[in-house]
Amino acid sequence: KRRLFGVGGVEVSLPWKRSLYLTATAFPMRSLHHELAHTFGAAFGDPILGLSMKWLPVPQFNTALLEGFAVAMDPRPRYRMDIHAQAATLDRLGVRPNLEALMGLGFYQFASARAYTASGAFVRWLLETRGGARVGELYATAGDFESVYGENLPDLEAQWLEFLRAVPLDAQSIAS
């Protein structure tokens, strides 16, 4: 991995090859579900790379959907919280990224833990409220929310925030 991709100590999926490159670690491997989700997500992605991307009229890549899909497919809790509680914590602390800014390549302007959590929780919410087939369509369009859901991203974000703000959190979870 280090010689081919410049990454020796991390796991990586190459959706266009339908393959994974993993580091030998003890079971359970924390990132295995995430990397498998990238590989399986290729079934929804563009026909060349298998990514959340569209080529015309200009190439458009959506990192928030690519990574959000992988996080959403790994529902195991972290920090003793599920993905919704993690995103609700970010929201209550005032550090949750705005979804419009997060989409596309804007994903990279945020701290990775916040970007992965927010995009993953949003995609998980879409899965739970609108179904997997439509999330697959959204992934394939690199985020054309209007054509897939008949709603724009700000309206969907408002609905998601209403959901997040109803997630019960205890003070200890927020503090940690």
pLDDT, one tens digit per residue, over 46-85 is: 999 988 989 888 888 899 999 999 999 987 777 788 999 9
pLDDT of res. 17:
75
User: Cβ-count burial of 94 within 10 angstroms (0-12 exposed, 13-18 middle, 19+ buried)?
Assistant: exposed
Distance between CA atoms of residues 87 and 84, nearest Å: 5
Averaged confidence pLDDT in the chain:
88
Distance between CA atoms of residues 96 and 117, nearest Å: 9
Enter the pTM of the model.
0.86
Does residue 2 or residue 44 have the better pLDDT? Answer: 44
